[in-house]
Amino acid sequence: MTTYESKTADEVGEYFDDRSWLFGLSGFNLHIGYFDDESPGTDPKERHTQVMIEAAGLGAGERLLDVGCGFGRPAIAAAKATGARVVGINVSLEQVRQGEKLAEEAGLTDQVTFEQADGMALPYPDNSFHAVWASEAIMYMSDRPQALREIERVLVPGGRFVLSDYAERTDLSAEQRVALQEGFTVEALPTLEGYRQLLLDAGLEITRFEDATPHLHRSAARIPEVLDEKYAYIAERGGKEFADEFKAMLSKVGVLEGEVLGYVIAVGRKAEAGA
């Protein structure tokens, strides 16, 4: 069996700290878009967050844990939409600080908090959250089964875990694995069925499992446009050599996303007490 190297939580945090300014290119919403043709006026990234909120099924006063919360926009959106109390965690201290700033600007510091924490060792008691979600976060975990076990542990009985993440659909070539590592810091991803098994092995009942690969492909198609629009800014901020290297790397990522990788959205439910 082939094994692949993974970065530690600290290394992933440093990676995102160093590149935080680059993520402003996507409006600080780091996940892919969800293209709802019935609501063409909705920004696809915002619609992705709405899909997560709908799947979490939260009510006012319930608690949501956002694992790998990015800059915090989805967490804040969830709090506004549902009245839930939200905790966002991230291994990137810079992104935690940005999340805190956004929560303050939104007047939600009593409802939304952000903390630096490792998703594989959650610092919360058992049965702490009515829902947990992880959007493009499990892919970075060096021990993904442990991360899923931790999520199941902190969920209340009957609580819901919402996953959205990249997946492998086919065997990657050596060159594609290099592009994956350069673009995402990982050498391998679970397959779609691999994610299904991770959820089941963690003791979660799967209530939704969507192959959302078409949404990844449509997101990837936008990469060249974004690169062209933002090239001058990247060159000004990081220098022309860096801008050219970044453009070449992101072009390879665009090929991976548009032709090779897949995407999954899934919901797992923790068993009721005594079940």
Residue type, 213: T
Q: Answer yes or no: 136 catalytic.
A: yes
pLDDT of residue 165: 97
Distance CA 218, CA 45 (A): 12
Q: What's the whole-number mean pLDDT along residues 48-76?
A: 96
Q: What's the whole-number mean pLDDT along residues 233-246?
A: 83
- Tokens 């969800």 -> residue: 34
Q: What's the whole-number mean pLDDT along residues 12-28?
A: 53
pLDDT of residue 13: 47
Q: Which two tokens stand for residue 11?
A: 């290394």
Residue type, 182: E
**Which of 15-19, 23-27, 79-83, 254-258 is the most confident on average?**
79-83
Angle between helices 73-82 and 44-56 (to 10 degrees): 50
Split at pLDDT 50, 70, 90, the class of 16 is low
pLDDT of residue 23: 56
- Number of alpha carbons in the 13 Å side-chain half-sphere of residue 259: 10
If one counts every other C-beta atom within 10 angstroms of the C-beta of residue 114, the result is: 26
Catalytic entry in 11, 62, 100, 136: 136
Comparing 46-60, 143-157, 234-248, the range with the smallest average pLDDT is 234-248
- The larger pLDDT score, comparing residue 29 to residue 93, is at 93
If one counts every other C-beta atom within 10 angstroms of the C-beta of residue 87, the result is: 21
Instruction: Write down the pTM of the prediction.
Output: 0.88
